[in-house]
Amino acid sequence: MDALSILLAGWLGRGEPAVLVTVAEARGSTPREAGAGMLVGRDATAGTVGGGRLEWIAVETARRMLDEGPSETLLDLPLGPATGQCCGGHVVLRLETANDATVADLAARERAEAAARPALLLFGAGHVGRAMAAAFAPLPLRLLWLDERAQEFPATIPPGVERIVTGSPLDHVAAAPAGAGYLVLTHSHALDFDIAEAVLRRSDAAYAGMIGSATKRARFERWYGARGRDAAALARLTCPIGAALTGDKRPEVIAAVVAAEVLVAFARPPQPSSSG
């Protein structure tokens, strides 16, 4: 889906007025976090501030603003019996009639949010890699998709995904920021092993995953040990990836399970660095 700033620019360019609704404060148990936003037009909405009665109130208020004003207002909403919701938290929503300045401010906010996202390096553009890219594209990550075979990438790259054609994947492992995640699923077991070794030697990966089987993992562990590497680092490697769901090897299913693995890994507190 397009960023809200792009959608808003399109609406305003077509003469369709809109209100930007933003979660200004979120205290206690709430359906969305501070900073979450949505657009409300006369006939359409985009994004969400949490759904339910909370969102219905926001949409109704925004549409009254489009017809009657004012240009900006705050809604102070406890999420209890008054709103028909049982979250128990408290939300303050800011509603503002959008203009070109709103588009610029929203775009700047989106750029800042994108820059702060954790990086995930996806090695391999084969059939599973393509399913992975599609699954991860809408998630709050910076996805770098790498392969040396330019022809393996689809003609249309999912929005927000950075396509990188490279014959030097280890250079990209070395250049990745601390706390990045890595998914290794190339066309070559030997290349998978080289990349996975480089990831484990960094010791700061939030997630290190390699496609395969129990047999492939055993082969990698023997290969890794023969190179004199620290066996303790192998505990940081997830292989096979997506093992929580067995028996279904469809790429889209594997990608969905792995997406959950990666998001859980990124949500964990950073671990102290150690040599690998």
Q: What is the pLDDT of residue 259?
A: 95
pLDDT of 276? 45
What's the pLDDT at 274? 46
Rounded to whole angstroms, how far apart are CA atoms 76 and 34? 13
Amino acid 152 reads: E
What is the pTM assigned to this prediction? Answer: 0.80
Rounded CA separation 80/86 (Å): 5
What's the Cα-to-Cα distance from 62 to each of 14, 75, 104, 200, 241, rounded to whole Å?
19, 11, 20, 51, 45
pLDDT at 215: 95
Those residues with Cβ within 8 angstroms of residue 164's Cβ, 6 or more apart along the chain or in another chain:
144, 145, 146, 147, 172
Contact call for residues 130 and 158 (beta carbons, < 8 A) = no
The residues of the chain scoring below 50 in pLDDT are: 1, 273-276
pLDDT tens-digit profile of 13-26?
A: 999 999 999 999 99
Q: What is the pLDDT of residue 85?
A: 61
Q: What pLDDT sits at residue 84? A: 59
Query: CA–CA separation, 123 vs 191, rounded Å?
Result: 10
